[in-house]
Structure 1
Amino acid sequence: MKLNYKRTILVGFAFFLIQCFWSAYDAIIPLILKNKYGMSETANGFIMSLDNILALFMLPLFGSLSDRINTKYGRRTPFVFMGTILAVVFFNLLGLVDVLWLFILVLLLTLISMATFRSPAVALMPDVTCKPHRSKANAIINLMGTVGGMCVLGLGIAFKTSAEGKTDFSNYILAVTGVMLLALIVFLLTVREPKWAQEMQENTEKYFGDKEAEEREEHGGKLSKEQKRSLILILVSVALWFIGYNAVISKYSLYATHVIKQDFNLTLLIAQGAAIIAYFPVGFIASKVGRRKTILAGIVMLTLAFGMAIFITEHSPEFLMYILFSLAGIAWATINVNSFPMVVELAKGSDVGKYTGYYYTASMAAQVVTPTLVGVIMDLAGNYRPLFPYATIFVGLAFLTMFFVRHGDAKPQPKGLLESLDVDLD
């Protein structure tokens, strides 16, 4: 049995709208805080970490909560609907306020709204996808997210969000939330969560074995010692590469503007384009050589990209940074496509939301620390130059922890030749 690409793409519209929001948020909130309210880099970094502080508690909570409910629309869909509507309303209000305390209040409400449905939305993919196909499926989900990010970066260019000193982003936010609502409508009209989840369970029993589940059963339904060790190492690795990567994403708009004097929208757009090209091939490669080996290769590429970016100056040819960010985009796709499936590979069907919460706890804990930490380092240095050395070190450390992981890989094990040749597009 093969992956159902059509269904995976439709499920991916939830992640599409999530990435639309975060691409816009990461691009404009640091600029508003600096240009409109004159915040230092340390204060700016703390505000930028608020979403991650909230996520530490709310993503595991709502992931686990969505495991426990069951409506006629499914376990995850109600969260996606309500969370998106609230986020759209509050995000638009954010572009209209001019008082700092009110801005912070509306920002918190916006972030809480987003946190209510991120874990349920992401958990939907493994709910409807058999384990051996989850790297390929996650590649498509991330591809959808990347397309969403690219749409928003294109809007950023159209609305000139990188203009020096710009403070009014209300029209840009309206355009972004319009795209989010269109994606939500497509998702609600096409995704049949309960039916697809039931079919996944039936297909898993019919076509595939589950080595991780068999090992759990030998230990009373709980993770074995080796499984727990691998889970912890995966989560530490996730934290380390997010510390490095998120520092670049959250501060690159400032770095590009003040250090290398380039348009950050175009650079990030090129990186997203490279990631789009890479997503499906790296999912396919992982199904052949394994998720762990593929991730290790991605870590090496990302470390090289950030390490070489240290030497780029405002006098360097612009295309050099485009090349490095293309490499970073491919590397991040290689890592991202395979890391989440490794975590939920160790989950039972009834606790996928909880394990999704574990994944996001690790990534968000890292992102709580990194904007403030790199902001403090920049303030102490008196410039933005420490950004890429900082990112290089932490991404490199992730190679060491990931190297010792022994569980979380899965390869298709079709029961017969006819099943292995079947392509499911319905």
Structure 2
Amino acid sequence: MTEGKPFSYGKIFAIGSGFFALTLVWTFYNAYMPLILGDYIESRAIRGAIMGLDNLLAVILIPIIGTWSDKVDTRIGNRLPFIVVGMPLAALFFILIPYGAMVTIWVLLFVDIIFLLAMTIYRAPVIALMPDHTPSEKRSTANGIINLMGGIGALIALFGLSTLYGIDRAYPFIVAGLLLFIAFIFLYFSVDRNPPYVENTADDLEETRASKSFFHGLSQLKKPSFRGHAFILSAIFLYFIGYAGLEAQFTVYAVEYLNMDASAAGFTLGFFSLAFVIFAIPAGLLGSKLGKVPIMLVGLVLLPLIFISVPSLPLLDGLFPGLNQVLLLQIVLFTGGIAWAFINVQAYPLVADLGGKNRIGFFTGLYYLFSMSSSIVAPGLLGLMMDLFSHPALFYGAATTFVIAFYFLRKGSILIRGQ
């Protein structure tokens, strides 16, 4: 550890509370905002396009804010000014979302846009707090703690806040908003005004890497020597369309097609996330032992099979009267989360390996470019398929992206091995 400079795991947990609240809010927002928009907008495609707005704002604005927070110098440091503005504002307008929905669609959209902008203002600075307070040799451990807290936030959103949604639609927004504000208070009084390890951390943010990689990255991928790399990155773009679209539209499918309660729909989606959290480490160990690409290919075979089975589950009720359909769907989604762990845990390490030691940053940028770009278009695209071909098209469309991704990943790995 760097001599003479302090380090505290207590501060890392304090910083992790910010990521916990951020992930909790985003997870609940992604699951339930499409249902709230459904009060005014019937088209799933339009609802999905609105859901993609946060990712678009992230790619455009967060690199600018991240760089700005690297350079600004104030009495309370360089990160806290953005956090002081963004977190309380995001907490307030998140609480206002269900009340805005009671007025008109325009009030709801106004509240939503302010909320999204506020989240964008503080996301980069709050993430940058970790490396500001952590020496380089401890950042992997610190990042693991923070991501674990984020995973816990996602599970609480889908299992805990979803239950509150069934009692009163406003309750989970109030609780999540208050948790976000409490996290802000905790951060404000815990983090250093002049952290000991401050660097230009904006370049480490995923949105910054995506933005900076856009034109340079695409020009590089046109070269024959990068053909295999382009196939692998295209595979990641494709299967993230399926994942992000399903995440945003699942509650719409469950409520409008299966006639589930909205709270039960979010609770059920939580089993997918739960399986991913449980099996992330085992999947990583399998990838290290058997190879990243083979384990990803297994997941890319299993997950489409699981997805296409979901629309047929209601048919089993006729064959087996009294079968608990919700429990069965939860079990199927849990197995899907295991397959998703096989895929997603290996993806970034695989892409980082493509460039060798000298190009890790460049390929990291490409990874975030392809994965985040899909999140912009996915909710609207799969929502359009639901509009055109009915609700089960959500799972058939998602499965299709994974099948095509299987071909692209396999083709890319063969091309790279042949070089």
1:34 deviates by 1.4
Counterpart amino acid of 2:170? S
Q: Which residue of the partner structure matches residue 275 of structure 1? A: 276
Q: Which residue of the partner structure matches residue 175 of structure 2? A: 175
1:389 deviates by 0.7
Match of 2:382 among 370, 374, 378: 374
* Structure 1 pair 88–333 and aligned structure 2 pair: CA distance change class (3 A): farther
1:22 deviates by 1.4
Counterpart amino acid of 2:370? A
Q: Which residue of the partner structure matches residue 214 of structure 2? A: none
Higher mean displacement: 385-394 or 178-187: 178-187
Counterpart check, 1:395 vs 2:397: no
Counterpart amino acid of 1:153? L
1:84 deviates by 2.2
Q: Which residue of the partner structure matches residue 160 of structure 1? A: 165
Counterpart amino acid of 1:327? T
Distance 1:93 1:280 in 2: 38
Q: Deviations 1:300-334 (Å, cap 9, x if unpaired)?
A: 44333323324222636433311221122233344
Distance 2:406 2:114 in 1: 37
Q: Which residue of the partner structure matches residue 213 of structure 1? A: none
Match of 1:27 among 25, 31, 37: 31
1:82-121 mapped onto 2 (5 Å cutoff): 82-97=85-100, 98-121=103-126
Match of 1:55 among 58, 63, 68: 58
Q: Deviations 1:341-370 (Å, cap 9, x if unpaired)?
A: 566776999x97x98775544333212222
Q: Which residue of the partner structure matches residue 242 of structure 1? A: 240
Q: Which residue of the partner structure matches residue 252 of structure 2? A: 254
* Structure 1 pair 302–38 and aligned structure 2 pair: CA distance change class (3 A): same
1:30 deviates by 1.4
Q: What SS class does the counterpart of residue 92 from structure 1 fall into?
A: helix
1:129-278 mapped onto 2 (5 Å cutoff): 134=140, 140-161=145-166, 169-188=169-188, 194-195=195-196, 232=230, 235-262=233-260, 263-278=264-279
Counterpart amino acid of 1:392? A
Distance 1:355 1:286 in 2: 19
Counterpart check, 1:386 vs 2:389: no
1:280 deviates by 3.2
Q: Deviations 1:29-57 (Å, cap 9, x if unpaired)?
A: 1121112x243223222222222332331
1:307-346 mapped onto 2 (5 Å cutoff): 307-313=308-314, 315=317, 317-318=324-325, 319-340=327-348
* Structure 1 pair 313–62 and aligned structure 2 pair: CA distance change class (3 A): farther
Distance 1:361 1:51 in 2: 15
Q: Which residue of the partner structure matches residue 303 of structure 2? A: 302
1:105 deviates by 1.7
CA contact (8 A) 2:27 2:158 kept: yes
CA contact (8 A) 1:150 1:273 kept: yes
CA contact (8 A) 2:279 2:341 kept: yes
Give the CA RMSD over aligned residues: 4.4
* Structure 1 pair 338–130 and aligned structure 2 pair: CA distance change class (3 A): farther
CA contact (8 A) 1:140 1:280 kept: no
Counterpart amino acid of 1:243? I
Q: What SS class does the counterpart of residue 86 from structure 1 fall into?
A: helix
CA contact (8 A) 1:347 1:355 kept: no
Distance 1:266 1:79 in 2: 33
1:387 deviates by 0.7
Distance 1:66 1:401 in 2: 39
Q: Which runs of 5+ in 2 are unaligned?
A: 2-7, 202-219, 318-322, 415-419
Q: Which residue of the partner structure matches residue 217 of structure 2? A: none
Counterpart amino acid of 2:234? V
* Structure 1 pair 296–27 and aligned structure 2 pair: CA distance change class (3 A): same
* Structure 1 pair 398–138 and aligned structure 2 pair: CA distance change class (3 A): farther
> Taking CA–CA contacts closer than 8 Å with sequence separation of 6 or more, which of the two structures ends up with the larger relative contact order?
1
Distance 1:229 1:66 in 2: 37
Q: Deviations 1:147-182 (Å, cap 9, x if unpaired)?
A: 112212234343234x8xxxx733321111122233
* Structure 1 pair 17–397 and aligned structure 2 pair: CA distance change class (3 A): farther
CA contact (8 A) 1:16 1:147 kept: yes
CA contact (8 A) 1:42 1:376 kept: yes
Aligned residues: 374
1:58 deviates by 2.1
Distance 2:363 2:19 in 1: 18
Q: What SS class does the counterpart of residue 257 from structure 2 fall into?
A: helix
* Structure 1 pair 396–133 and aligned structure 2 pair: CA distance change class (3 A): farther
Q: Which residue of the partner structure matches residue 218 of structure 1? A: none
1:244 deviates by 0.1
Distance 1:375 1:40 in 2: 8
Q: Which runs of 5+ in 1 are unaligned?
A: 201-222, 407-426
CA contact (8 A) 2:19 2:149 kept: yes
Higher mean displacement: 288-297 or 389-398: 288-297
Q: Report the TM-score when normalising by structure 1.
A: 0.71
* Structure 1 pair 334–94 and aligned structure 2 pair: CA distance change class (3 A): same
Counterpart amino acid of 2:313? I
